[in-house]
Structure 1
Amino acid sequence: MSEKLVEVTRGARVESIHFGDIAVVDREGRLTCSLGNPDMWVCLRSMAKPIQALPVITTGAARNFGFGDEELALFCGSLNGQDFQVALVEKVLARLGLSVEHLQCGVHAPSHRPTAQAMAKAGLAPSPLHNNCAGKHTAMLALCVHHGWPLDHYLDPGHPVQQLILHTIAVVTETPADQITVAIDGCGAPVFFVPLRHIALAYARFAAAGWSGPAAAPLDNAIKTLAHACLAHPRLIAGDGRICTDIMQALPGQVIAKTGAEGGYSLALLNKGLGVAIKISDGHARGLNSTAVEVLAQLRVLTAAAAEVLTAYHHSDIKNHRKEVVGQIRPAFELIKTG
């Protein structure tokens, strides 16, 4: 059963509760802490992005196109649609000999509200370049160009690029490919259900930047390279005003933080060699921020300086339309040591 993770108060009483599940795993796959059901099957959603980006390195596509840390971090991010991110997507597409018309991720307004407001004021319409999955789709297109695979149906689950990604997900999460449930993400790309603790395992491997075992050995260097890229460019993992970027900037070189839709969140804790996977049962993002920062605190990763920077995420005030504080969103759990 899922456990209580977050309380939402109004006045002196609890008004609402968010339940969920947490798995904390070391680099060998051992569960060290948990809460709720660490074996529940969870859709990776955007938590998959760093894993999906690995084939760009392992196939030689990154070397072929001269991709550096910026481009590799871009491929892992759930982007804000900010101008610097859009410009980098355009730069990569141009290097591939492609354009925005090749992106099949769909269109939505930038997640970064100031950018969206500025575009609306200027009468500019968003394009696929502003989609938060534009970096991931650009990586898929890079693999297609590198291998000479067709571009027109690269989102088809049977397409070679998606089969390559499925194989990579299976290896990194240690989940047999024939047991992984494949669904379709908001951007039209295939996405994958695996057990929560296996998501934590994948991020533990990013935390350790490599792991033992002959089946996984070829990915070691790719994981190290991608982890370094993410740590070097936290603004490309999410963007300004987003918890992923703010955690990584508050704890530089120590944490890779990656959100997923429907209440999913993952952390790679480099100083601990641990991976964390979180799932909020009702899928509501409201419970995520407080949970993620509290996990960092309980695992003794959160420094005093970082705690101050992340206070608004950890204990978030609820204000009414008169701007009065009427309640709070606060963590209400304690991780259980299992190892």
Structure 2
Amino acid sequence: MGKELVHVYRGQYVESIHYGSVVVVNAEGELIKSAGDPDFKTFIRSAAKPIQALPVVYSGAMEKYNLTPRELAVMCASHSGEEIHIETVRSILKKINVPEEKLLCGVHPPYHKPSAEALIKAGIEPTSIYCNCSGKHAAMLTLCMYFGWDIDGYIELKHPLQQMMLEVVSDVTDVPKDEFWLGVDGCGVPVFGMPLKNMALGFARLSKPEYLKEKYRNAARIITEAMYTNPMLVAGTDRFCTDLMRVMKGKVVAKAGAEAVYCVGFMDKGIGLAVKIDDGGRRGREVVVLKAMEDLGLISKEELAQLRKYRHPVIKNHHNKVVGELKPVFTLK
């Protein structure tokens, strides 16, 4: 069990408590501050996507297929299935000459409710391109086409594409390949379990690429810039990743992962932050991320004010009356 991070109040009384861990490291892997257990091991989930996109750039595939920063951004996304996301993924697939049916990410309706409702009204069934991971899978298909690998089994661990993913994530996070927990992610590809401090290390290095192996350095600069200059492509309307990077204006690269994982790299500072809420519930995750950034002095009062709905979320009843709130109860030490 991690540390108490967030209290959920109903009126003046604590009704629920979210436990977890927060870790801050520098690009050399030195622990700067923490709350909870820096060595807590869990799956990085979709927070790995910016790391997994690196080969698209350093391999030469980006140049071959004339990929744009917007397309790179959606390759790192857990997108909401809005029109801007679907159009961008389709643009990638058109450039690499692969039909949508080859996306093996699975199917779910768009996270963005108006987009989901529009499909229903039009009588359109969601397909794999509406999956939040379709951008990542388009990146994986891009690499398969570039290297001449079979695209039918690209989600399997034994496939050379997934072996490349294993190597890249290992290099960036400093976790030996044989020490990863290996599972299957929601979209069907292998997913990597590692200590929280190594997730933070990966994002510290993305933010200051000179600490990466040489072949990754320019790719990291291009990927992170694509994300923070196109934050809408990384998540979507009323999503924390998008709003955080939009407000911070090039100061951070940030990515959520399922089961209440969150990672932030502070650009040019070589500092990485990783958060995990033990119960997997996202309700308190953004509260923790912003409180940690506040403790570190890496976000201004003006920036926090723009992100108030995430920093000070309230609980409303069915009468739309505020009846409670979430409050962080930790301090980084």
TM over 0.5: yes
Say whether the 8 Å CA contact 1:107–1:128 is kept in structure 2: yes
Match of residue 95 from structure 2: 95
Matches within 5 A, 1:74-223: 74-211=74-211, 216-223=213-220
Aligned equivalent of 1:34: 34
Match of 1:262 among 251, 259, 264: 259
RMSD (Å) for aligned C-alpha atoms:
1.1
Q: How big is the shift at 1:305?
A: 2.2
Deviation at 1:61, TM superposition (A): 1.1
CA distance in 1, matches of 2:231, 2:87: 16
Match of 1:241 in 2: 238
Q: Does 1:230 align with 2:230?
A: no
Distance in 2 (alpha carbons) for counterparts of 1:60 and 1:32: 36
For residues 280-311 of structure 1, the C-alpha deviation after alignment (integer angstroms, 9 at most, x for no partner) is: 00000111111111112111122222111111
The whole-number CA distance in structure 1 between the counterparts of 2:221 and 2:95 is 24
1: distance between equivalents of 2:99 and 2:84?
17
- In the alignment, the residues of structure 2 paired with residue 164 and residue 318 of structure 1 have an alpha-carbon distance, to the nearest angstrom, of 44
Query: How far 1:233 sits from its partner (Å)?
Result: 0.7
The one-letter amino acid paired with 1:61 is A
Instruction: Using the TM superposition, give the Cα deviation of residue 271 of structure 1 relative to its aligned residue in structure 2, in angstroms.
Output: 5.2
Which of 278, 284, 291 does residue 287 from structure 1 map onto? 284
Instruction: Give, in angstroms, the shift of residue 273 of structure 1.
Output: 2.4
SS in 1 for 2:118: helix
Deviations 1:227-279 (A, max 9, x none): 11111111111111100100001110101111000010000111532100100
Q: Please give the secondary structure, in 2, of the residue aligned with 1:210.
A: helix
Alignment partners' CA distance in 2, 1:186 and 1:208: 30
Q: 1:25–1:275: 8 Å Cα contact kept in structure 2?
A: yes
Q: Percent identity at matched positions?
A: 41
**TM-score, length basis structure 1:** 0.96
Match of 2:313 in 1: 316
Are 2:289 and 1:296 aligned? no
Distance in 2, matches of 1:89 and 1:293, equals 30
| 8 Å contact from structure 1 (residues 210, 221) kept in 2 | no
Tell me, in whole angstroms, the C-alpha distance in 1 between the residues paired with 2:2 and 2:269: 25
CA distance in 2, matches of 1:209, 1:176: 20
Rounded Cα–Cα distance in structure 1 between residues aligned with 2:269 and 2:166: 28
Gaps of at least 5 residues in structure 2 are none
Which of 327, 330, 333 does residue 333 from structure 1 map onto? 330
Distance 1:66 1:156 in 2: 27
Q: Distance in 1 between matches of 2:123 and 2:298?
A: 44
Contact preservation (8 Å) 2:240, 2:286: yes
Gaps of 5+ in 1: none
Amino acid in structure 1 at the alignment position of 2:161: V
Distance 2:204 2:223 in 1: 14
CA apart distance, 1:118: 2.0
Find the counterpart in structure 2 of residue 4 from structure 1.
4
* Residue 273 (1) aligns with residue 270 (2): yes
Q: Which TM-score applies when normalising by structure 2?
A: 0.98
Which 4+ stretches in 1 moved above 3 angstroms?
A: none
Cα distance in 2 between the residues matched to 1:284 and 1:210: 35
Which one-letter code corresponds to 2:10 in the other structure?
Answer: R
Q: Distance in 2 between matches of 1:330 and 1:25?
A: 24
